[in-house]
C-alpha cells in the first residue's frame, strides 16, 4: 500500500512506444490523480539525450516513485536510473512488448494500472548485469535475438508483427555451439538459443522459464535444444510452455557463455548486436517495484 509520505510521482512517457499516441495515457493519468493529494509530474521522452535529461529531472524532482509509461525499453531506461536507490518503479504498460508488465500481472488497461501505482505493494526485485547491460526480464543469444532484430527493422507491431518475422527466422534456424562456465563447472551444448532469464515468460506470453522468480537472488540459463519449427512458432505466439524435454535449465548467480562464432544478442527486447561472449551476474533485490496487492 502506498504510504502517505509518498507524494511525488514522476511519469516517464514514451510518446511513440508501441506506435500509439500517448495523449490518452496522459489524460488518464491527470484525471486519475486529480482528486488525490500526490504531486504529479510528466517527463516526455524524445530522440535526444533521453537518459541524461531523465537523470537530471529525477535529481531535481526527487520523486518517491518513477513510473514508466511505455514498453520494456522504457521500463529498462527508468530502472537504470533508480537501481539500488530508495526510489520505487511503477509500470503502465503501453508498448509493443510489455513483458515485464505481464510478468508482474500489471493490466494493460490504463486505469487499472494506475490503481496499482496508488495502492500496490512494493517488492524488491532482482536484476541481471549482462555485458554491462541491465536486464530485468529476459535476454538471449541466438534465434530469438535475431527475431528481435528483424522485428525492430520491420514496420508491423503486435503478435502479427512477431509472427511475420518469426517465419523468416524459424525457417532458417542457425544452430550455435556454446560453452557455459559457472562455479558449478563447465558444460558444452548445441542449441538454437540460450536465454538468461530473470523472469518466466516473454511478452507474447510464451513461458520459457517455468521456475523463474524475480525475487529469489538467482537467474536461470535456459538452453533450447533442437525443436520442431511449427512447435516453436506456436509457442512464440501463444501463452504456453515449451516442452521440458526440449530445454535444459541451469540456475546461477553468475555465468560466462562463449560461442563458436558471433551470434545475435538482445536484452529485454532491445537488440544489442552480435557477440561471442556473454558475462552475467545477479543483482539481488536492487530494484523497488510496485506490484498488485496479493502478488
Instruction: List the pLDDT tens digit at each of the 295 positions of the chain.
Output: 444 555 899 999 988 665 555 577 889 999 999 999 999 999 998 876 687 899 999 999 999 999 999 999 899 999 999 999 999 999 999 987 788 999 999 999 999 999 999 999 999 999 999 999 999 999 999 988 887 787 676 654 555 556 666 666 666 667 899 999 999 899 999 998 999 999 998 877 778 898 899 999 999 999 988 665 555 555 555 555 666 677 899 999 999 999 999 999 999 988 999 999 999 999 999 999 999 998 7
Q: Which residue has the cell 496508488?
A: 118
Q: How far apart are CA 153 and CA 165, in angstroms?
A: 10
Q: How far apart are CA 261 and CA 277, in angstroms?
A: 9
**pTM of the entire predicted model:** 0.87
Burial profile 53-77: b = 16 or more Cβ within 10 angstroms, e = fewer:
ebeebbeeeebbbbbbbbbbbbbbb
Burial profile 119-153: b = 16 or more Cβ within 10 angstroms, e = fewer:
ebebbebbbbbbeebbbbbbbbbbbbbbbbbbbee
Q: How far apart are CA 149 and CA 253, in angstroms?
A: 28
Q: How far apart are CA 254 and CA 41, in angstroms?
A: 38
Which residues is 258 bridged to in the sheet?
A: 179, 277
Q: Which residue has the cell 538454437?
A: 192
Amino acid at each position: 500500500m502506498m504510504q502517505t509520505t509518498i507524494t511525488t510521482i514522476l511519469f516517464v512517457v514514451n510518446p511513440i512506444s508501441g506506435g500509439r499516441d500517448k495523449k490518452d495515457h496522459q489524460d488518464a493519468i491527470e484525471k486519475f490523480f486529480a482528486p488525490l493529494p500526490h504531486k504529479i509530474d510528466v517527463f516526455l521522452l524524445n530522440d535526444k539525450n533521453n537518459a541524461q535529461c531523465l537523470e537530471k529531472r529525477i535529481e531535481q524532482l526527487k520523486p518517491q516513485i518513477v513510473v514508466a509509461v511505455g514498453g520494456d525499453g522504457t521500463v529498462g531506461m527508468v530502472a537504470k536510473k533508480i537501481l539500488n536507490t530508495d526510489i520505487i518503479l511503477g509500470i503502465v504498460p503501453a508498448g509493443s512488448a510489455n513483458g515485464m508488465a505481464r510478468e508482474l500481472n500489471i493490466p494493460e488497461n490504463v486505469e487499472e494500472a494506475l490503481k496499482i501505482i496508488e495502492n500496490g505493494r512494493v517488492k524488491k526485485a532482482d536484476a541481471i548485469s549482462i555485458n554491462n547491460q541491465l536486464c530485468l526480464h529476459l535476454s538471449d543469444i541466438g534465434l530469438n535475438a535475431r527475431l528481435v532484430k528483424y522485428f525492430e527493422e520491420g514496420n508491423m507491431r503486435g503478435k502479427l508483427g512477431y509472427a511475420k518475422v518469426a517465419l523468416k527466422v524459424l525457417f532458417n534456424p542457425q544452430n550455435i555451439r556454446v560453452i557455459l562456465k559457472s562455479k558449478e563447472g563447465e558444460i558444452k551444448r548445441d542449441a538454437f538459443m540460450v536465454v538468461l532469464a530473470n523472469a518466466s515468460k516473454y511478452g507474447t506470453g510464451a513461458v520459457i522459464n517455468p521456475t523463474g522468480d524475480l525475487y529469489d537472488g538467482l537467474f536461470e540459463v535456459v538452453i533450447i535444444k533442437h525443436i520442431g519449427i511449427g512447435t516453436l512458432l506456436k509457442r512464440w505466439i501463444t501463452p504456453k510452455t515449451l516442452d521440458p524435454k526440449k530445454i535444459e535449465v541451469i540456475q546461477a548467480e553468475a555465468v560466462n557463455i562463449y560461442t563458436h562464432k558471433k551470434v545475435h544478442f538482445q536484452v529485454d527486447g532491445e537488440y544489442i548486436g552480435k557477440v561471442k561472449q556473454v558475462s552475467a551476474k545477479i543483482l539481488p533485490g536492487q530494484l523497488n517495484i510496485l506490484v498488485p496487492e496479493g502478488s
